[in-house]
Amino acid sequence: MPEFKNEKIYDLEERTAIFAENVILLCKGIVENTITRPIISQLIRAATSIGANYLETNGASSKKDFANKIYICKKESQESRHWLRMLATCYPDKKNTIAKLWKEAHELSMIFHKISKSTRADLFLNFKLCFLFLN
What is the average pLDDT score of the chain?
88
Share of the chain above pLDDT 70, in %: 81
Q: What pLDDT is attached to residue 8?
A: 58
pTM for this predicted structure: 0.82
In tens, the pLDDT along 69-122 reads 999 999 999 999 999 999 999 999 999 999 999 999 999 999 999 998 887 665
* Burial bucket for residue 46 (CB in 10 Å: 0-12, 13-18, 19+): buried
Contact at 8 Å (CB) between 56 and 69?
A: yes
Structural domains of the chain, ranges and CATH numbers in brackets? 12-134 (1.20.1440.60)
Q: Nearest-CA neighbor of 108 among 124, 84, 89?
A: 84
Give the pLDDT mean for 58-77.
92
